[in-house]
Amino acid sequence: MLKVGFIGIGVMGRPMAQNLLKGGHPLTVYDVSADAVKRLTDLGAKSAATPREVGAASDVVVTMLPEPHHVEQVILGPNGVAEGLRAGGVVIDMSTIDPYTSQRIGAELKKRGIGMVDSPVGKTSEHAASGTLTLMVGGDPDVIERVKPVLNRMGSETFYCGGPGMGHAMKITNNLLATTIMVANIEALAIGAKCGLTLELMIEVMKTTMGWNAQLGVAMPKKAFKGDDSPGFMIKLAGKDVRLAVELAKKQGFEALVGAGAQATLERAMKMGLGERDTAALMFLREKELGIKIRPAAAKS
């Protein structure tokens, strides 16, 4: 049974790590939050004082962190994973970062005899808890094969996206689309509500047209339409993902015009102090600014 280290045990990382414990993998964890670490050690995980200690205790180290520079620092920085993980070990980065940073980290690890797999995830914290995430995997096939027992404990649908960094490229592509659709939904519903249309009527009509999408049918009824902006997919993380996508487009030689619009919306919300709230808060912000109610009358304020 592979010994696994897990760094970054937040909203998504904690249930993913718990599934590794349930699968019988000896688990060592590290996080800047002592409370987050305690939740896992109470279930049988061991704690480490540094990422280096995580690496030294593990065959495979999983990282699930907010920003590209966090991933690079934790893996390659002083007291980082690379200083502790033995040759033949593997790092699986499941964060949402850009493919260029991912490829740079992977190349440095390869010099040390350490493999790297990028496997960002799709779906929600509920799927993380049930071990049914979508995994978008990039890397060398032989390295991926070695860590399949670890990946299979966290996801039920795995897509091989190509070589190093291609899993991250796929995730950024996906999140750009998902977030811009969500922002467009809110804008369209706000226009309709300001004109006097009810949400019920707009949904009924849109179900029959090309305007229909999974954000309207699945995500928004679970959170936004219920008046719930408790952290799920936080605005600051959505903003980071869209920013990375817009920057990636520029590196590819073109402008992501729609993405830039979504980025501006998210950055505006963050400046208003909503970064820690779920993206549902974007709809509530529109309601407040326009003096309208998009949500059903029964939904809480």
> How does 237-249 read in b/e, with b if 16+ C-beta sit within 10 Å?
bbbbbbbbbbbbb
Q: How far out from the chain centre does Cα 51 lie? A: 21
Strands 121-122 and 60-63: unpaired
Helical spans, DSSP H, in the chain: 13-22, 34-41, 51-56, 68-76, 81-84, 99-111, 125-130, 141-146, 148-154, 166-195, 199-206, 214, 220-222, 235-251, 257-271, 281-290
Selecting among 110, 123, 171, 240, the annotated active-site residue is 171
Q: Which residues pair with 34 in a beta bridge?
A: none
CA dihedral angle for residue 170, residue 173, residue 177, residue 182, rounded to 10 degrees: 80
Q: How far apart are alpha carbons 12 and 95 in whole angstroms? A: 10
Active-site residue 171, yes or no? yes
Q: How far apart are alpha carbons 176 and 33 in whole angstroms? A: 29
- Coil, strand or helix at 243: helix
Write out the catalytic residue numbers. 171
